Structure 1
């Protein structure tokens, strides 16, 4: 496994988060159960904060306000790319940032666009981000796996790229 560190790891984490887009946001409900729902990522900024649009009066917002520790799980199984984020969530009211991050595709959920009553931003500030992805193209990766099967040896170290980033 190839370990990425420093700016290279942070840059790659940002690329993966923004490219995979849909994540499962996990909060804790009133009974202490973990509850997940899909969210569309708007951006991961230079500080590592990950931004989403949401309606202010929802269970996910209530849960995040009651316990701000949340998880994000990004999964792209076809490309074998995965990102896990442990972070803290908060609601942010910032009209300028909302105009910057908004796109017409959000009108599926927000019928009146930015004029939708209660529309707001949810920010997840990472505490730790971890990702895994192929370290080679698919053909080289398949050849490496086949070689490992035939030789009964472990795959080459560069078959998977990995990073664990603390913020």
Structure 2
């Protein structure tokens, strides 16, 4: 895989491109005993600007974990397309009603009987600091063929896609 490094506006554009059709991310937090907890979270389809937003309940364990240690990891994947993205950042809890309404999406109503006005509703704001991505440049069958060829000829002779680091 070709290694690339992108930063700033180019990094934001890369994250936008990779996440545009993904609606579920895995959010990983750190518990007070140091264990890692990952859970699926709905992700907005709004334009990424360096910050990710997730709707949550104020009484959830992840809120307590973020208050104790704000370091988080957010992972996205599209295995059928050969795309994987891992983003690091710092998270915070936001209770601002106007922001909650701004980032609200209809599916969240299933967890909050009063919708965006529910007092238990809050946002997790993740300010992304960087990440890594891996993406294939071809379909699954072509990817398998290239991997087989790379195992015979050597990975430096056959491209199976791109990988890189993102810094914001």
| Pairing of 1:110-125 with structure 2 (within 5 A) | 110-125=112-127
Quote how far apart the aligned CAs of 1:132 are: 0.8
Do 2:52 and 2:127's aligned partners in 1 also have CA atoms closer than 8 Å?
A: yes
How many residue pairs match? The answer is 165
Structure 1 residues 146, 64: closer, same or farther in 2, change over 3 A?
Answer: same
Matched, 1:5 2:44: no
> TM-score normalized by structure 1?
0.84
**RMSD over equivalenced CA pairs, Å:** 2.2
Deviations 1:16-66 (A, max 9, x none): 2342221221112122211111111124632x1111001112110011011
The aligned residue for residue 153 of structure 1 is 154
Structure 1: tracts of 5 or more residues without a match = none
1:14-163 equivalence runs, <5 A = 14-42=16-44, 43=46, 45-46=48-49, 48-149=50-151, 151-154=152-155, 156=157, 158-163=159-164
Q: How many angstroms apart in 1 are the aligned matches of 2:76 and 2:145?
A: 27
CA distance in 2 between partners of 1:94 and 1:109 (Å): 18
Give the secondary structure class of the aligned counterpart of 1:25: strand
Q: TM-score, normalised by structure 2?
A: 0.84
Check the 8 A contact 1:44/1:51 in 2, yes or no.
Answer: no
Deviation for aligned residue 1:114: 0.8
